[in-house]
A and B are shown apart, each in its own frame.
Chain A
Amino acid sequence: MIIYGVAILAFCYIIGQLIGEFLGKFIGVDANVGGVGFAMLLLIFLSDWLHKKGYFDKSTENGILFWNQMYIPIIVAMSAIQNVKVAVSSGFIAIMAGIVPFVICLLAIPLLAKLSKNTKPD
């Protein structure tokens, strides 16, 4: 059933986000540390395990795939609620302080990718 898929996703989300909250508290920062990442890892393991056990039928999977497909629409809605006005109106320093790090990090990507390719088995 579809609701099982949605519920599995919700379970992973809640556990992962809670781990992130507690980890943040534990290291003393006022932020969620890696909550989404933990939830994703949990979902990868859980869906794999359920597949092997044969509990994962097509409609259960659809409950998760629906949200997968809703991803871009949600991102469009998210773009529409950003504080773009303050970004545009804060003047040149804010624009530079946002763009310069982006460019620096861009330049670092090919380096890191090359560095790590050497250790790849294939």
Chain B
Amino acid sequence: MEIIVKFLEKNGLVFAFLVVGLIIYLSGIISDKLTRRKIPASAIAILAGLVIAYFGGVYSGGEKGIADIKIFSGFGMLGGSMFRDFAIVSTAMGASFLVLRRTGWVGALSLFLGIVLSFLGGVGVALLWGYRDAVSLTTIGAGACTYIVGPVTGAAIGASSDVIALSIAAGVVKAIAVTIGTPFVAKYIGLNNPHTALIYGGLMGTTSGVTAGLAATDPKLVPYGALTATFYTGLGCLACPSILYLLMRLTFGG
């Protein structure tokens, strides 16, 4: 037994290939037999990933889902930002430059609106829960953008660690909501063409949520959503601790 565990630890990435392959195979069967392909196999597989992450986190007490369990540490590599971004870039092969150019300014507008709307949404919720100081409100609002913007902003303006933790949690919840929600709402918001996918990526911003959600909806849309979403976190890190924080201070004092 010990030999097997050690072996799987040492060959983590290869073992992760095998396990992910099995997850996707089983998801395909579930999609076919239980939902008559109404829910795509990729959506079930991604959802299964989140469930596995939850149990991995509960079991190990760590922060990286299943990757904190030693024999599954290869998941950290396979699902980490390097492979993720490498694969996202490769999807650009199928993207149409014409569509990109035509949607250019709306993409920029959607980024701007996405950051402001998410921020205000987060601030609104924080107000409801009784936060009144500009620093906490800004940090929670930033967390509502993405789980990277939250802690970056919080650290920049000197928020307390529990508020920073809260902002990370808010960002993670948003990423999960986007992942799970996208395939279900796609129909109702007209998310079936590259043009809308670009806007969607800019508005939602969470790269992991947008790309996973679009992959589950229609893989052809992934490059368009990813292209705008990739600017979101950087712009959020720029706007939240500066303009938006000043705005909060003017409104609530501090």
Q: Are A9 and B86 in contact (CB under 8 A)?
A: yes
Q: Are B53 and A79 in contact (CB under 8 A)?
A: yes
Q: Are A13 and B46 in contact (CB under 8 A)?
A: no
Task: For chain B, residues 68 to 100, give those with C-beta under 8 angstroms from any C-beta of chain A.
Answer: 72, 75-76, 78-80, 83-95, 97, 100
**CA A37 – CA B102 in complex, angstroms?**
16
Question: Is B143 interfacial (CB-CB < 8 Å)?
Answer: yes
Q: Which residues of B contact A109 (CB under 8 A)?
A: 189-191, 196, 199-200, 203
Q: Which residues of B contact A54 (CB under 8 A)?
A: none
In the complex, which of the residues B21, B79, B90, B175 has the most CB atoms of chain A within 10 Å of its own CB atom? B90
Q: Are B118 and A101 in contact (CB under 8 A)?
A: yes
Q: Which residues of A contact B5 (CB under 8 A)?
A: none
Q: A90-117 vs B: 1/0 string, CB under 8 Å?
A: 1001111111111111101110110111
Q: Which residue of chain B has its CB nearest to the CB of A70?
A: B87
Known: A31-B237, A35-B85, A104-B117. A82 touches B90 (CB 8 A): no
- Taking the nearest CB of chain B, how far is it from the CB of A102, in angstroms? 5
Q: Are A101 and B89 in contact (CB under 8 A)?
A: no
Q: Are B237 and A84 in contact (CB under 8 A)?
A: no
Q: Are B176 and A31 in contact (CB under 8 A)?
A: no
How many A-B residue pairs have C-beta atoms within 8 angstroms? Tell me. Answer: 326
Q: Are A13 and B86 in contact (CB under 8 A)?
A: yes
Looking at chain B's contact residues, the main secondary structure is helix
Q: Are A76 and B238 in contact (CB under 8 A)?
A: no
**CA A25 – CA B192 in complex, angstroms?**
36
Looking at chain A's contact residues, the main secondary structure is helix
Question: Is B166 interfacial (CB-CB < 8 Å)?
Answer: yes
- Taking the nearest CB of chain B, how far is it from the CB of A29, in angstroms? 4
Q: Are B75 and A77 in contact (CB under 8 A)?
A: yes
**CA A61 – CA B58 in complex, angstroms?**
42
Contact of B215 among A33, A72, A94 (CB under 8 A): A72
Q: Are B24 and A43 in contact (CB under 8 A)?
A: no
- Taking the nearest CB of chain B, how far is it from the CB of A92, in angstroms? 8
Q: Are A79 and B179 in contact (CB under 8 A)?
A: yes
Interface residues of A, CB < 8 Å — how many?
76
Question: Is A120 interfacial (CB-CB < 8 Å)?
Answer: yes
Question: Is B138 interfacial (CB-CB < 8 Å)?
Answer: no
**CA A53 – CA B212 in complex, angstroms?**
35
**CA A71 – CA B168 in complex, angstroms?**
25
Q: A26-49 vs B: 1/0 string, CB under 8 Å?
A: 011111111111011101100110
Q: Are A84 and B176 in contact (CB under 8 A)?
A: yes
> A-side interface residues toward B, CB under 8 Å?
9-10, 12-13, 16-17, 20, 23-24, 27-37, 39-41, 43-44, 47-48, 61, 64-65, 67-68, 70-88, 90, 93-106, 108-110, 112-113, 115-117, 120-121
Q: 25 interchain pairs (CB within 8 A)?
A: A13-B85, A29-B237, A32-B234, A33-B238, A64-B93, A71-B219, A73-B21, A79-B46, A79-B79, A80-B52, A80-B66, A80-B67, A80-B75, A80-B79, A86-B57, A88-B54, A97-B143, A98-B144, A98-B175, A102-B178, A110-B190, A112-B203, A113-B196, A113-B199, A116-B195
7 other A-B residue contacts (CB within 8 Å) besides A32-B233, A98-B177, A109-B191: A29-B237, A33-B234, A40-B223, A77-B78, A81-B65, A90-B166, A101-B119
Instruction: List the 4 closest A-B pairs by CB distance, nearest first.
Output: A98-B173, A79-B49, A33-B234, A85-B57
